[in-house]
Every structure is written in C-alpha cells, then in structure tokens.
Structure 1
Amino acid sequence: MDDLTLLRRLRDDVAEPDAARLAPAYRKLETAMRAAEKTSASRAPRRRHPVRWAAVGLTAAAAVAAAVVVGGVLAPPHPQSASAAAIVLRQAAAEAITYSDPEAGPGQYLKFHTRSDWASYQGTSDQTVTRLPSNIQNVDVYIPSDPSAEWALYRDWEHGQTGDGAFVAETIHAPEGRFYGSPWASQDLNAIPIGSGAETLAYFDAQYQGGSASRDEDDFVRITDLLRTYPVPAPVRARLFEALALIPGTTSTDGVANLDGRVGVAIGRDEPQRSGERQEIIIDPGTGQVIGERRFFPAGAVAAGEEQTVLTAMSVTVVDTAPPATTPARDENG
C-alpha cells in the first residue's frame, strides 16, 4: 500500500501535519537522496527511455485559444492535502536523481515535443461567442548538444492556425533558442541553486516583482513554467519538485492522465483570488518525470461560459537532424 492510499484512509478529523512535524521526514529523504545521487554517479547509466513531459502556453498567434474538454481525465480537480502533495513531490525528487535522462551527443539534438488540444472562440456582431472546432497544436524544440549553437523550433496546427493568421506550419532557427528575441527557457538553469529545495525556492522568490495574485502564486508559476517548457536535467528537476512542496497551498490529485492517456499525479495550487481556476503539472512519482499539464477553468471563466479542462503531453527524444528553417526568427513581440 502506498503513502497516498494510507493518507486517504486517515480519519477526516486527524489534523494535517504542519511543517515542523514533517521536517524530520524531509531531512531523512534529503539524506537518502544525496546518497542516491552519489551512488548513481558512480555506476553505469541505466538504459535510457524517452522522457515524457508536458507544456501549455498560447503563442502570440493563438492568444484567443482556450481549453477544451478532451479524453483522458481520470480524476476531477478535487485535490488532496498539502501533506500528500509533499510526499509525492519528495518521492518524485528522489526518483529523478536516479533516472537517466536522454542526452544528445555531438551533432545531435534533444527533440522536445509538445502536443496540446486547444479551441478557439469567435465573436459575432451581436456579441455572442461561439467555440470553433478543436485544433491540435504541435511544438517541437530541437536543442543542440552545444546550447550556444543554432536551435530549431517547429510548430503547426493540424487543422490550420487558431486566431486571425493563415499559416499551418513553420520552422524557425535561432542561436541559443532566441526564436523571439529572448531565450526559450524561462530561467538560466546554471544560475539555479540546488543545495536544497529551500534554497531553490528562495532563488525564485527573490525574483518576485508583483503582478501575480500572490507571491506564492508567482513562485509556483515560475517553477512550473520552467518544468513545462524545457527538458530540465534531473538534479535541477529534483530540487524544483522540493521547492514546489514548500509553497503554501500546493496540493495533489492522483489518477490524472495527460493528453496521450499516460496517468500520473497532478500537482497544483488553488489561488484564492483566481475564483476556482487551477493549473497543474502531471508527474510520474515512480520515475520523477513530468508527463503532462492540466488546467481547469470553472464555468464563467472562459468566453463560452462552460466548465473546461485542457490537457497536454510532451516527450523528449534524441535525434540526429533538425528540419530546415522556413521562417525568420522574430523579436520579442512575435
């Protein structure tokens, strides 16, 4: 029986453990993770398997898109306690350290594939809003073994572009992944401290400049934005998981599938000022992989007024070539 099953069987009137009561267990896990890290560094790497990720984000061209309900949601967004989320994240952190991520050799690329299901909305002169047919978006980022070299970005909409544009597919090349004038990754991975989860969280917290509904929301979004848009190496990924566990309001929902049907645990946070909207990453706690993302919008939060959920799926593989460019790189305004 796993820890989450045990937690669900606790009596409702049992008080949720606070940070002080959880601290000894965290310290034991921290010690075990460091030992696992040293052991994995000294032994031959495991047979590599494709790593599955998730990323959500509307491009400038698809800014009018919103989520649609798609197959694969095995659990509604009714999260469990913060202590359950902490257990899942600590477990995922420990597994991530021992997992062998795909690595691109000289002349090769990491192909970071994102598949998302979006819907567009169209307004009419009588101020009514209708939802257009579902439209799958594919985004492939080709990251060279030398990150200072030229990257490639391929994207398409399988049924044409959502929004007011007309193109169906394009490929952009840019040094260091600056397809739109700024780095593709939202953070400099080399600058993130990974001595402990608390140290990692402090790094992100120091970036707060207002603008979010709360400081905790800002920390959560900065960390999950990185996890869902870039193949973060295992040592950094482990500390990001630990940092998420320390953010107040972070909870978990198990039995959630990504867009491709792979099931994991959704880690999210309910922001009181967001009126029921919830953003989650889906992880496999047994491997420490990020396998998807889910966003939930309550009725009335989107244009057509109905309750909606969006899912994505992502994978990382090693390839020998990248597609040729068809479109010049742009500035930060797209």
Structure 2
Amino acid sequence: MDELTQLRELRADVPAPDRAALAPGRQRLTEAMAGGGRARRTRADWRIASLGAAAAITAAALLGTQLLDTPGPRGTAPATIASNLDLSGPAETLNRAADFLEGATAPPEPRDNQWIYTSVVIGNPALKAGSEQMGEIRYEPDSWSRYGNAAAEKDQSDDDRSTREIYRATAGLPEDPAALLAEVRRLYPADTSGQSRPESKEEQTFRGLSVLLESYPLPPAAVARIYRAMATLPGVGITGHLVKDAAGREAIAVTRDEKGTHERREILLSPYDYTYMGLRFVVTENYETKMPEGMQGPAQKFTAGDITISEARTAAAVVDAKGEKP
C-alpha cells in the first residue's frame, strides 16, 4: 500500500479541516517533538515514520506548517577516535563502536527523583524538487522527564516505556546477538494497528533498536551489545561517509531501507564517541504524490537524497529538578 492510499484511509470520512480543527493536532505534534513526559513515543512515532515521505505532507500540508531549522553546536573530534573511524560496513563500524564503549566507565543509574533533560533540533524537510512551504510550527527544544515515573510505568496499555524501564531493560539485554534482537522484538511488538502497512520482522527490530538508542542515559556496555547485534540484522548498512544531522554536525549514519515507503531510516551516531545523535529519513528513489482526497495543493515531488524527517539531540543530562539545565 502506498503512502497516498494510507493517508486517504486515515481521513476517508473526514471533511477538509479548518484552522480551528487543526489546532489540537498541531499541539499534539508540537508536544511529540518536544519529547512529552514519557521516555520516547514508540508506536505513534512509528506510524508517522512508516508513512515515509507522507510525513512531510502531514507536516507541511495537512497541518499547514513548516518545521523550524535551528542551528546547533558542532562536535570537536578527539584525533585518536577520528583517525580510527571505519565506515566500510556495518560490522566494521558497529563492532569498532562496541569495542570503544565496552571500555567506557558507566555512570551511576539516576535516582528515581531525578529528571532527564534533553534538547533537540528538528530540521526542515530538504526537498530538491521543491515543495511549497506553508507557515511554521514552533517547538520547544528543551524537555524534562522524571526518571522514576511510576504513573507511566503503571500504564501497560502500550509499549511507551519510562526512562527507568528502558534503562533497566537495556542493561539486562543478553550478550548473544540473536537473543538480544529477539528480546527487542518482545519489548517493541510489531505494529498491528491496521493504520499502517505491515512491518517485517527486520523493520520491527530496527525500529525497536532505534527507540532504545534514543533513550538517555544508557549503560555503555549495554549499548555495545546493541551495536554488535545491530551489525547482524539483515539490511543494515553504513553510508560509507559522514552525513550532517539537523544541527549541522557530522554523524555516522546506520541505515535500513523501509520497503514500500521509498525511504530509509537512518540512526545517527557520533563519529567521536559513538553515542546517539539523532535520526533521519532519506528518500531512496524519485517519486511523486498528490494531496490527500478532500485537500487542495500542489503535488509533492521527492528526489533520491531528499531528507523528509531529521531530528538531532544536541544535549542530554541527568539533573535534579525539572527546568534545570546542565
């Protein structure tokens, strides 16, 4: 099923919205970009992402908005790490990253009453063919979530876990890559909502790995196990060169094509210390979509190499109070 069909089904009986009708959805999207009060959205996030380039239509056309591109800091590379960087393939890159992280000192687990501060940059869709850009959506880059969130952990209706749950689940991941990937699939089941195309086992696994890596903090040894397991997942690749994240920083791109969406998901890692930096969705082939039924506007043209979704985490820290910054 293509993205246009999916969008039509999602709003089959809904009249064309006016600004008042769009306000609640715009607010929810703004809150999602800011991170909300939970560790990271999972299934809801995936439904948007699995539409591939249709997410750009949703942001630019359905909501009538445009994401703001905020400049971010650039990293400074320790020469010893940069000179040892190997981008020749997933096994070479990810196993080298794992070797590095296994030697890192693990900080203590946060206390239940502490908060996790993160700051993100959301990038504008970069479309070579040119798409009409309308309005703007403002988002708050800084967010805080309580590490010990008992209320969130009590809610077992979905797989949107608290930061504490993800930290402990990640710390307990098995050494064996196959067993680790199976546990990730258990933590993040396949999306059977019927609102998006069925995802393959490999797509489900890569999605789950992405969600785990987005969380902060994580034990370095556990991240090392994730990288070794990720290197064994069919379809995972490395771009072979550094890319730019939404903040303009150089990053390693760990990739996997999302079949049926004309796009690939990219998990971005630091080339200096192999920590998580953000994510991107990149168009893999030229294609064109029209506006969903009941809406008017120009066709959306996408060219291989277009970036439809880009998010960079520019800061993360454990703090003692909501509103505190490191």
TM-score normalised by the chain length of structure 2: 0.55
Q: Is the 8 A contact 2:68 2:137 kept in 1?
A: no
Q: Is the 8 A contact 1:111 1:140 kept in 2?
A: yes
Q: Deviations over 1:13-71 (max 9, x none)?
A: xxxxxxxxxxxxxxxxxxxxxxxxxxxxxxxxxxxxxxxxxx898779x9832697969
Q: Report which of the two has the higher share of strand.
A: 1
State the shift of 1:209 in Å.
4.6
Distance 1:246 1:135, change over 3 A: same
Q: Using the alignment, how far apart are the partners of 2:289 and 2:97 within structure 1? A: 32
Query: 1:202 aligned to 2:213?
Result: no
Q: Using the alignment, how far apart are the partners of 1:263 and 1:287 within structure 2? A: 12
Distance 1:108 1:286, change over 3 A: same
State the shift of 1:94 in Å.
1.8
Query: 1:294 aligned to 2:280?
Result: yes
Asked which structure has the greater CA Rg, the reply is 1
State the shift of 1:194 in Å.
2.6
1:248 aligns to what SS in structure 2?
A: coil
Distance 1:246 1:134, change over 3 A: farther
Letter in 1 for 2:176: S
State the shift of 1:277 in Å.
0.6
| Counterpart among 233, 238, 248 of residue 252 in structure 1 | 238
State the shift of 1:83 in Å.
6.4
Give the match for residue 98 of structure 1: 103
Q: Is the 8 A contact 1:257 1:264 kept in 2?
A: yes
Give the match for residue 135 of structure 1: 137
Give the match for residue 229 of structure 2: 243
2:93 aligns to what SS in structure 1?
A: helix
Give the match for residue 318 of structure 1: 318
Query: 1:111 aligned to 2:111?
Result: no
Q: Using the alignment, how far apart are the partners of 1:83 and 1:208 within structure 2? A: 31
Q: What does residue range 11-50 of structure 1 map to in structure 2 within 5 Å?
A: none
State the shift of 1:177 in Å.
9.4
State the shift of 1:189 in Å.
4.6
1:312 aligns to what SS in structure 2?
A: strand
Q: Deviations over 1:282-309 (max 9, x none)?
A: 1124412011211113542685513341
2:268 aligns to what SS in structure 1?
A: strand
2:254 aligns to what SS in structure 1?
A: strand
Q: Deviations over 1:229-249 (max 9, x none)?
A: 443322221111122111111
Q: Give the gaps of 5 or more residues in structure 2.
A: 1-39, 49-54, 61-65, 72-86, 126-130, 193-197, 292-298
Q: Give the gaps of 5 or more residues in structure 1.
A: 1-54, 73-81, 120-128, 150-173, 325-334
Distance 1:68 1:101, change over 3 A: farther
Query: 1:85 aligned to 2:86?
Result: no
Q: How many residues align?
A: 225
Q: What does residue range 143-182 of structure 1 map to in structure 2 within 5 Å?
A: 143-144=146-147, 147-148=148-149, 176=153, 182=160
Q: Using the alignment, how far apart are the partners of 1:183 and 1:210 within structure 2? A: 16
Q: Report which of the two has the higher share of helix.
A: 2
State the shift of 1:210 in Å.
6.7
Q: Using the alignment, how far apart are the partners of 1:240 and 1:208 within structure 2? A: 17
Give the match for residue 59 of structure 2: 65
Give the match for residue 204 of structure 2: 218
State the shift of 1:185 in Å.
5.3
Letter in 1 for 2:311: T
Q: Deviations over 1:245-288 (max 9, x none)?
A: 111110111211222222121001124x3253111111124412
Distance 1:148 1:106, change over 3 A: closer
